[in-house]
Structure 1
Amino acid sequence: MAATYTAAATLPWLAKRGLLALWRELPVALVAGTLTLAAAVPLAVAAGTAAPGWLLAGTTVPAALGLTGLAHFAAGVADGDATRMRALRLDPVLALVLAGGGTLAGLGLSVGGVAGLAGAAGAAVLLVVAPLALAYGGVRGRTGLAALRGGAILAAVRPSWALTLVALGVLGGFAAVASLGILAIAVLPLLATVASSVVAGLVEEINRSAGQP
């Protein structure tokens, strides 16, 4: 059954709702987190061994592809729909866009100067929009540029919520690093489910304001 959200839903309420939804599906979520982490292994190895830039850029694609699959899974968890949880869907177009954006931002930062400023700006925009775009794609069934556009719109509508999701991601990243990656299998699905809950609530609020069912 699809989840419904109250008109007075706040960010903490939505985050708590996502956390509780994940807890009910924790064993499956840990498997999803493990698979997503496995997709990022080539990137971690390439970065740790100072691989050539072209190889490092290529390894960002499977990592981004894994995140699109996790986002779709998390949308099903947040929605309480077991059918959607089983229907894992990958979004190659969105993965390529995110991987390409991250690579260009990293390249700009490594060059420095004007390119470094552009890279920093691009990285900041990507950090804000990417979580919402991934979650929007899972929640609304959008793919590619449509998911990216939806994430950008939501970030513009509620920038404070978008920045809070970024902050949660940073805290989750610190926890994963401090545990030598062990907690990553739980942190990744947790962040994805919270983002899906937030996006679903925000989309419903926007639709309600527009008079849509």
Structure 2
Amino acid sequence: MRATATATLPWLVKRGVLVFWHELPRSVVVGVIGLASAVPLMASVIVAAPAWMLAAATVPPSLALTGMARFAAAAVCGDGPRLALLRRLDPVLALLLAAGLSLAGLGLASGGGAALAGTVGCAGLLLVFPYALAYGAIRGRYGLTALRGGAILVAFRPSWAFTLVGLGWLGGFAVAASTGVLAVVVLPLLLAITGVLTVALLDEVDALQART
């Protein structure tokens, strides 16, 4: 089973890229909207705003991510993605993500044991939340239920979650090298790949449950 999963992973990533490419014009629009939602956060970081302002600024991009995940899920499932899906937000999951980011950032900035806790928190966010966003969008789950589903998928096949984190780092380097220009492409692409992997994992989990 593990060998098969490893062999199919590159194909699934390629399929995610193809899904993104097929919806390229609208995906770029989605990326622009996502980037615009992060402007308050970027401005707060640049001006070294107080911690409470930084925490508040994480909410808009977190909300935008939940809508962007809905768009990506529709593209992956072949349901005819529409930009109107960006309005289908998950406020609870967004607040959980924003709170996690804020607490992790606070821990990293504090140093000592808090920095270690912040590092662990960041790692957990990077592993679980991509799947939580995709799972919630694909299965129509919200809030803690979506977060729980994401955690289960990470536990079911951790190697895929680490692969997504690696792709995220590569995407981050690409965005940094392009001074932010590629952000409008990288984020929708990563969401499409995550959606494809999530569908594959859910199909496998459903098949295993059907046998029992």
Query: % of aligned pairs identical?
Result: 58
1:77-92 to structure 2, matched below 5 A, reads 77-82=75-80, 86-88=84-86, 89-92=88-91
**In 1, Cα distance between the equivalents of 2:83 and 2:38?**
21
- The alignment status of 1:35 with 2:19, answered yes or no, reads no
Q: Secondary structure at the match of 1:210?
A: helix
**In 2, Cα distance between the equivalents of 1:118 and 1:86?**
38
Question: TM-score, structure 2 length as denominator?
Answer: 0.93
CA contact (8 A) 1:77 1:85 kept: no
Q: Go from structure 1 to structure 2 and tell me whether the alpha carbon gap of 1:108 and 1:26 turns closer, same or farther (over 3 Å shift).
A: same
Letter of the 2:75 counterpart: V
2:74 to 69, 76, 79: 76
**In 2, Cα distance between the equivalents of 1:95 and 1:9?**
34
More helix by share: 2
The aligned counterpart of 1:102 is 101
Query: Where in structure 2 are there 5+ consecutive unaligned residues?
Result: none
The aligned counterpart of 1:206 is 205
Q: Go from structure 1 to structure 2 and tell me whether the alpha carbon gap of 1:52 and 1:197 turns closer, same or farther (over 3 Å shift).
A: same
Query: Where in structure 1 are there 5+ consecutive unaligned residues?
Result: 1-6
Let me know the Cα RMSD of the aligned residues.
1.8
Letter of the 1:172 counterpart: G
2:11 to 13, 27, 35: 13
- The alignment status of 1:23 with 2:24, answered yes or no, reads no
1:178-197 to structure 2, matched below 5 A, reads 178-197=177-196
Q: Go from structure 1 to structure 2 and tell me whether the alpha carbon gap of 1:9 and 1:21 turns closer, same or farther (over 3 Å shift).
A: farther
Letter of the 1:175 counterpart: A
Q: State the Cα distance separating 1:117 from its structure 2 match.
A: 1.5
Q: Secondary structure at the match of 2:210?
A: coil
**In 1, Cα distance between the equivalents of 2:83 and 2:6?**
27
Q: State the Cα distance separating 1:139 from its structure 2 match.
A: 1.3
**In 1, Cα distance between the equivalents of 2:118 and 2:202?**
30
CA contact (8 A) 1:73 1:85 kept: yes
